[in-house]
Structure 1
Amino acid sequence: MKRTRLADRLDVTAIGLGTAPLGGLFAPVSDADAEATIERAWSLGVRFFDTAPLYGFGLAERRLGSFLRRQERNSFAISTKVGRLLRPASAAAEDDYYKGTSAERPRFDFSYDGVMRSVEDSLDRLGLDRVDVLLVHDPDDHYEDAVAGAFRALQRLRDDGTVKVIGAGMNQSEMLARFAEAAPVDCFLLAGRYTLLDQGALTNLFPICRAKSIGVILGGIYNSGILANPRAGAKFNYEDADAALVARALALEALCRKHGTELKAAAVQFCMAHPAVTVALQGARSAAEVSDNIAMAERLVPSSFWQELRERKLVDAAAPLPGGA
C-alpha cells in the first residue's frame, strides 16, 4: 500500500483503519468479528490504526492492542487520543452511540495531569509500550484547558520521545485552525468536514495546514454512513440525516450510477484528491467492510463523473478533483 509522510516524524500508509465501529458504534461487534476486521486490514497492507478511549469506552483500544502487540512494533503506527478519562460508573445507562460496552464511562479532562493519566491508561489497555500519534480529542468546549494543559503535556511527551507526532482530532475545522496558530501541532484528524457533502475545511483549515506543513488525517469520509448507503434514516454526523441531506446524497448516487461507478468510490477519491490530505481513515466493523473500503479507493471513477459533478455545482468550485477535472 502507498505510504505517505505524516508531518516530519512519521511514515504511515495512505489508508488507515478507524476503530470506532470496533467499539460498538451504533451496534455491538463481537470479539471474533473485531479480530477478523483488523486481520483483514493488516493482510491488505494497512499499517496505520486510529483509536481512542471513547470508542466503546476502552473496548476498541483493547481489541486493537490484542492484535497489534503480536506484530513487530516498528512495522505499524498507531494513534490514540486524550481528553477523556474512563472511570467506573455504578449504574451506567445505555449509551446512545456505543453498544456492548463495559460499565466504565468517560469524563472530560484536558489538564496536564489528566492527559498523563490518560496516556498511561491507554497504553495499559493496548498492551503496548508507546503510541506514535497522540491527539487531543474533541475539546470543543475546552479550548483554554487544551492549550494550557493538554498540549503542554503532549509537547513534553513528544520532546522526550514518548510519542512522535501530536495534534488534535475533532468534528469541526474552525477550532483546529485556531490550534494551528496556538499550539505546537504536527497533524490534525478531521472527521466529516471534508466530504462530498461538506467541504467546510476547504478555505478555513486546509490552507493553514499546507502553509505550516501540518498533516491531515481525514475521517468520516462517508459522513457517518449516508455516503455509503443514502436513504431515509441514514446517519450524518452521528445523527439521523435530515431530508435535504438525504436528497443531496441520493442525487450524488444517481450521478454515480449514470457514469457507471459507485458513490463510495467517489467519496473516498474526492477526499484523497486534496493535497492537504495525508491519510484517508476508514472505519469498519467487519472484514468484508475493510475489503470494500480499500477497493473503493482503487475503483475506476471516470473523468466524466468529475466533470459533471463540477458542472452541476454539487461540490465547492475550489475543491480539487481527481485527475484535475
Structure 2
Amino acid sequence: MAKLSLGTAQFGLDYGVSNTRGQISLDDADAILQLAKTRGIDILDTAPAYGTSEQVLGELKAAASFKLISKTPQFRRDEILADDAAQVRRSIESSLEKLGTESLYGVLVHWPGDLLARGGDLLWNTLSAARSEGLVKSIGVSVYDPAELATLMDRYPIDVMQAPMNVLDQRMQTSGALDVARAKGVSNHIRSAFLQGLLLMDQSAIPQARQAARPYIEAFRAAAERAGVSPLVASLAFITQNDNVESVVCGVTSAAELEEITAALALAGSVEIDFDGLSCNDASIIDPRMW
C-alpha cells in the first residue's frame, strides 16, 4: 500500500475549502511533525507558494527528520526565458536556506504549463543541473490531468510526479497514466485525496457554490456506509489500494486530524468497495482550479 506524506500548505496559508481554522500556529505545526515522526511519515511536501510554510519547517528543523519536496515558482507564460531559469535556481537556493538543509529530496515544477511552454527546456536544464550538483535528489512536475503527464513524460525523464486523484476524480487511474508512469520508473505521489476536504464534509456544510457535487458525494457516502467504513477510510482505500501509487499527500490542521488519518490508513487496505461507478467527469466539480 501507498505511504502517507504530509502536505504543509496549512503551515503557511489559510488553505482548503473545509479548513475552518486558517493558518495553523507554530506550536500546532510542531505537534503535527512530532506525531508524523512517530507514525512513520518521512516525506513533507511544501512550496515557496505556500506562504511561510518553508520558514516554519526551517524553524522547526524538519529537515533533520524528514525528506523535503518543494516546488518552483509559477510563471504561467507562453515563453520561458533565461531569466526565468535563473529565478528557478535562486528559488531552489532560497528553499534550501529557509528549510535549513543542503539538499532537497525533490523539486517539482509547480505549474506544468511552464515546461510545455516555449523555452521550457531551460527550466528542465536548470533542475537537472541542481540534481547533478546534489542540491536535489529527484526532479519532476506537479500536474493536473493525465494528458499533461503523458506529454511531459514523453518530453522529459521525470523522476517524480504529483497529481490529483480521489473517488470522484479517477482520471489518473482510468486513463492508465499511473501505469505508464510507474513503468517509466516515475515515483507517483497523489494529492487531493479528499478533494480539499469536500468528500469528508457533513452534507449540511457543503458550500452553496459546491452543491453540484452533492449527488456524487452522497453516492460515495452510501457506498462507504454499505462497506461499514467511514468516508475517510473509503477515500484513502481508493488511493492506497492502487499499486502504482507510492505516496498520498494529506494536509492537516491539527495533530488530532493526522492521528485520525493514520488510523484510517491502517484500515484502508481491507476495504471492499466498487469505486468504478462513483467517478465524476465534470471538471467544474473535480478540478479546484475551476472553483
Which TM-score band applies after superposition, normalised by the shorter structure? Answer: 0.7 to 0.9
- 1:44 aligned partner: 39
User: Relative contact order (alpha carbons < 8 A, sep ≥ 6): 1 or 2 greater?
Assistant: 2
**Cα distance in 2 for residues equivalent to 1:301 and 1:176:** 27
1:114-125 map, 5 Å:
114-125=87-98
Distance 1:168 1:300, change over 3 A: closer
Relative to total residues, which structure has the larger helix share, 1 or 2?
2
SS in 1 for 2:104: coil
* Aligned-pair CA distance for 1:161: 2.0
SS in 2 for 1:299: helix
Distance 1:249 1:16, change over 3 A: same
**Aligned positions, number:** 268
Distance 1:259 1:211, change over 3 A: closer
1:1-325 map, 5 Å:
14-26=3-15, 27-56=22-51, 59-69=52-62, 71=64, 75-84=65-74, 111-140=84-113, 143-144=116-117, 147-190=120-163, 192=164, 194-202=165-173, 203=175, 205-231=177-203, 234=206, 242-299=210-267, 305-307=272-274, 309=275, 313-315=277-279
Distance 1:255 1:21, change over 3 A: same
TM-score (norm 2): 0.83
Identity of aligned residues (%): 26
Q: Is the 8 A contact 2:115 2:121 kept in 1?
A: no
Q: Is the 8 A contact 1:233 1:241 kept in 2?
A: no
The one-letter code sitting in structure 2 at the alignment partner of 1:291 is: E
**Cα distance in 2 for residues equivalent to 1:78 and 1:300:** 26
- 1:320 aligned partner: none
Query: Which stretches in structure 2 are left out of the alignment for 5+ residues?
Result: 16-21, 281-291
Distance 1:123 1:174, change over 3 A: same
**Cα distance in 2 for residues equivalent to 1:18 and 1:116:** 23
Q: Is the 8 A contact 1:225 1:234 kept in 2?
A: no
Query: Which stretches in structure 1 are left out of the alignment for 5+ residues?
Result: 5-13, 86-107, 317-325
Distance 1:270 1:241, change over 3 A: farther
The one-letter code sitting in structure 1 at the alignment partner of 2:177 is: L
**Cα distance in 2 for residues equivalent to 1:143 and 1:232:** 41
TM-score (norm 1): 0.75
Q: Is the 8 A contact 2:5 2:248 kept in 1?
A: yes
Relative to total residues, which structure has the larger strand share, 1 or 2?
1
